[in-house]
Amino acid sequence: MNENNIKVFAPATVANVVCGFDVLGFAVNEPGDEVVMRMTGKPGITISKITGDNGRLPMDPAKNTVSVSVQHYLKSIGRNDIGLDIELHKKMPIGSGLGSSSASTVAGLFAIKTLLGDETDVASLLPFAMKGEEMACGHGHADNVAPALMGGFVLIRSYEPLDVVRLPHPEGLYCAIIFPDVDVPTREARQIIRKNIQMKDAVTQWGNIAGLVSGLFLNDIDLIGRSMKDILVEPVRSMLIPDFYKMREIAMEMGAVSFGISGSGPSVFAFTRDEDTAHRLTQKLQQHLTGIKIGSNIYVSTINDKGPRAIG
């Protein structure tokens, strides 16, 4: 980095974390996205290059989540006089359920904050990142952007007013991620969720959320595992993911602590107690998907406590 040029990496995230729909998420080490940002002499934002998206993302700065969120940030600090050029390098699959738009948006916001020497807490960027999410999927939720921005495991206690809490987690927890090559658009995945639920189901769900958060604080991996059950959203969304329940059966038989959908899918993830189990599990699930003629990407990671960072 120099005073007028920076390259930033921001991580993928797992949102919902099975039972915590729209309120829980955590960051992983890989995959992620990269943004290169340069100061220019002419006011306004341009996007000069996007790679890795197969032409799917808009170059128009009024329609791209990175530039839109950066513009909101600049407006809030009264710096619309600034000129920026942005390159976006997608290093993770779009529509994966791993917070693809969040990673791009967070990388852009962290880049401009760093270039301007803004020393406020990184969490102050969250409302601007949520603007990017609103553009990407029609709903400005924070369970992807908050962990991507702040790192670690995050609870969104409230949206109005916005109240975000960073949670502890066991050091030895590994995340095994499998992204099947099928299309599950976030907007559509939200539309199939039930609008009304029974009280007994709500009680079960919030008991599981409380159990998961307690397990994180207590370093109790068994409690984390038995709390990661979702009776509200997963039964519907799992229908969009080929062989979801078979994959869960394989994962649990191989020693996974838990198994569920990442975000709106189609990515699925498992927590394991060690790295070796995570690697064996992802390879086994990839073999299973290959057997039903579905390609996949696999990733193994600890929980990423750093969030975005300058690179190169």
- Say which of 65, 105, 114, 133 is annotated catalytic: 133
Distance CA 47, CA 257 (A): 43
65, 105, 114, 186: the catalytic one is 186
Of 139, 140, 143, the C-alpha closest to 153 is: 143
Q: Known catalytic residue: 3? A: no
174-212: burial string, b at 16+ Cβ within 10 Å, e else: bbbbbbbeeebebeebbeeeeeeeeeeeeebbeebbebb
> Would you please indicate which residues are annotated as catalytic (active-site) residues?
133, 186
